[in-house]
Chains A and B, each alone.
Chain A
Amino acid sequence: MVSKKIVAVVMVVGAFAAGAYYGGSQKAPVITNSSAGASYSGGYDKSADSDAKKSSKKSAVKQRTEVGETHVVNDGETIMAAVQAAKPGDTIQVMPGTYHETVYVDKDDIRIIGVIKEGKRATLDGKGVLNDAFLYSGNNFVVENFFITKYKGNGVMGQAGNNFEIRNNIIEDTGVYGIFPQLGKNGIVEYNVISGIEDAAIYVGMSDNIHVAYNDVFANVAGIEIENSRHAIVENNNVYNNTGGILAFITPGLPIKTTYDVIIRNNFIYNNNHKNFGAPGSMVGSIPAGTGILIMASDDVVVEDNIITGNKTTGILITDHANAPGVTIDPESDPNPDGVKILNNLMYNNGYDTIDEVKALMLTEFKQGEPDIVRVGVTNDSCIINRHRYVSVGVNGWAECEFTNTDAIDSYLLDEPVPPRVIDPSERGKVVYNGVCAGCHTYTGRMIGPPVQIIQALYMDNPQGVADFIASPTKKRDDYPEMPPQNYLDEKTRLAVAEYMLAQKK
């Protein structure tokens, strides 16, 4: 499946073997010492991001100024009952035991902490019938210390929750993804042990400012995947026995079109030779077993100080969309991986049983052997240091990098978390009046409800009266339908809209 594609391209680009870096000219290699030299400054300018304010704090969730209630969940009870009872700021402690439920959190600032007693954890067991274990859309979400297994979908799935921390969880065989924060900004995924996942153990999708560190991921199709995301660091992870180790992708067809500014550093990435058991048609389903790092279409991906060994196809595979099998096109996304930066890495014993397409590609550069780095398709402005150390194909034309390390970048997390989602009280009345009330009431005319002018005459100095009425209206006029209750608006909003309505002049 992979083969035809790559071979076809090889025919076309065969000529690019000429002008090799040192192969032809026998010049002495450029040896670059990464402990000296310039540091990469990344592609993220914190000062230009309005969400990022200066502070010395280092975590993803908002620091609590007031400590809320702690809800304790014991074996035999449900976590969900505690979530329903919890208010923002509360903590839920889950005692060891087995829980069979989907926990969904559509509230802000909820922390769910498993209590580990003498090695015994709170276990979420989907028993092969439940879909996801944790689903959250609230900001400032923390989930820690669980053992999660036998779900069909994901272990932990975020949908647009910002400022999240997912740590210390053991996740085995939870279906498609182990941990999948999607459409979130500012989050940490660390110290998780994840295995047996049919897609990616950790999948960061369409997110910004993410830190993935100290995770142990093995026996999955993909270890860690950064997809259509920006400003992500993947460091200090142990990634082995997956089909592909660490992936930085642009998946075409998604609404957010870019991946850039990704640093993959200080990871162990070894023996990722697991048979691909991905679902047919999935993005990872056609990754060749034995791929250490796979960079597809992403820009400004830095690969530094990783130990990459024993990956039988290649240590690092870099491709554009056109050469990736089974990948669609997206007229709105750039298919080329530009600005790849390969700094020092320990690469050893990779590519020892590589695929025929790679062998054919190597022949275009008159090379044989076991490739550490394979690049196919178009790339612009990519660079590498100490290239003479590696068996490579497709990087001869790359420049020397102008920096040797990423030491200047500690983290891409925001110094100050993404601010809370509150509707400004001064605007609340106006928005609800126009968006809700105005559907039935105009100032003077008759619509579904009586004119605002009449309501003003009745409640002139009594906004509370209006606020109370709309919460549970009674039928007042024979010639108008009864108003539906607006009790879904909270008390403050009801009062704000009442005041706004009574102040209208036209």
Chain B
Amino acid sequence: MKVFRFALVFILALFFVHNDILAQGVDAMNVEQERTTFVLSDRCPPSFELTDDGVCRLLTQYQFYNSVQNKGLGGTQTNLPPHRDGFTPAQIDLGRYLFFDPLLSGDGTISCASCHQPDKGFSDDLDRSIGITGEKVARSAPTLWNVAFVDKFFWDVRAKTLEEQAQGPLFDALEMGNTPENLLSTLQNNNYYVAMFSQAFPQAIEQDNNIALSQVYTALTAFQTSLISLNSRYDRYAHGYHQALTKREIAGLNVFRSFVARCAECHQPPLFTNNQIAVIGTPEPEGRALDIGAEKTYNAPKLRGAFKVPTLRNITKSAPYMHSGRYDNLLDTVKFYNDGRGNSVPEGEEMLLHWHISEPNLTDEEMELIVEFMGTLTDESLTPQIPRNVPSGLAVVDEKYQSP
């Protein structure tokens, strides 16, 4: 019996050997179908468990820890903040196709992935991203890793949910340049998508056989919240395997969390952000006017120049840094904080700088150690598969698309 099973498995294995285009979690049996009919996965992405209700729930080792007021902030063994999950495998997989499909832009030239590229920390390598017009937009593309734990979106935190956020780039003339009407009709006119939406949203579609914009946002949210990065070498250290980091990296961790550098006061583990906004007074690229950030969102002059504190996970992958990509490497970014409170606030500007922006007087060595430590926050092991084909038939955006 065992021998027989082994033989069968072995044959199957041979059969799959050169078949490398599997979507995440898609059975090998579906491979041929995927090319033509886009059958959505019935499995949850890694790090998620399929529940009896047919939805995917996140599983991580951090869930066994606690935290003060359950905020998911603190030290090494701290739980994570509340998060989004509970989408079906089909919704997540539909979101993946939508994410990579240039059909979502007004002229079919760019997809979400154009500015949120999987191999660049789900960001791009630009100071400010380029939309369909070829012009640069106002700000830098943020990473999408661990976005399930984020409750404020955009650098100026003007959106509270991913669903709300999605409508920003989709319908911004400088970004994807689409309109709600055009997006709906292009999807509705694509037979693959009509079938895929009916798989992902069976009840809703049965009612009127129409795709709804809310389903587009839900699917994009479902996919993005599946982008989990929690198995970096730092995480292994945090869970108790102290050999996971080198001596220098641990020294870097200790500078990072020291009350001299104070990095960890805002970039708080385990997510390396506290999901707050802060006025830190970084310089704009030369020739650009001051970006007032969250002052506009809250109509609050005390928040002039406030921006969201970004996560530092996979940070080495997502240069350049800061809201307008002012720094192209981490060491320069760290130096900004070391150069003293208000070092780049333009003359005549009143900014109520965050109290943790101080004059730490770190040595060059300490700054290098911080950078080395940030390198331990990289984990891309759960990078989803890029679909080879998308339902529009458009080319899945080439990773070199935006090279200057």
Contacts and interface: CB of A to CB of B under 8 A. Distances in A.
Given A331-B298, A422-B64, A281 B341 contact: yes
Interface string B12-29: 110011011010011111
A367 interface: no
Contact of B259 (A176, A442, A444): A176
16 contacts: A135-B258, A153-B258, A160-B68, A160-B76, A176-B259, A183-B68, A230-B69, A326-B352, A423-B61, A434-B49, A438-B47, A439-B46, A439-B47, A440-B381, A447-B22, A453-B9
A487 B233 CA distance: 12
A315 to B, nearest CB: 26
B260 A131 contact: yes
A499 B250 CA distance: 33
Interface in B250-283: 250, 254-255, 257-261, 264, 268-269, 274-279
Interface in A388-440: 418, 421-424, 427, 430-432, 434-440
Given A435-B60, A454-B9, A160 B303 contact: no
Interface string A435-474: 1111110101111001101100110100000000000000
Contacts of B22: 445-447
A431 B59 contact: yes
A256 B46 contact: no
Contacts of A41: none
A254 interface: yes
Nearest to A447: B22
A3 B261 CA distance: 32
A154 B265 CA distance: 13
A256 B68 contact: yes
Given A254-B276, A326-B352, A438-B46, A444 B28 contact: yes
Given A152-B260, A281-B358, A446-B22, A454 B10 contact: yes
B247 to A, nearest CB: 11
Contacts of A230: 69
A431 B60 contact: yes
A255 B71 contact: yes
B259 A159 contact: no
Interface stretch (B84-92, B236-244, B386-394): B236-244
A253 interface: yes
Interface residues of B, number: 83
B230 A435 contact: yes
A427 to B, nearest CB: 7
A282 B355 contact: yes
B341 A185 contact: no
A102 B269 CA distance: 20
A421 B65 contact: yes
Nearest to B28: A445
A159 B74 contact: yes
B132 interface: no
Contacts of B353: 281
A206 interface: yes
Contact of A180 (B68, B74, B259, B298): B259
Contacts of B26: 445
A269 interface: no
A457 B68 CA distance: 45
A106 interface: yes
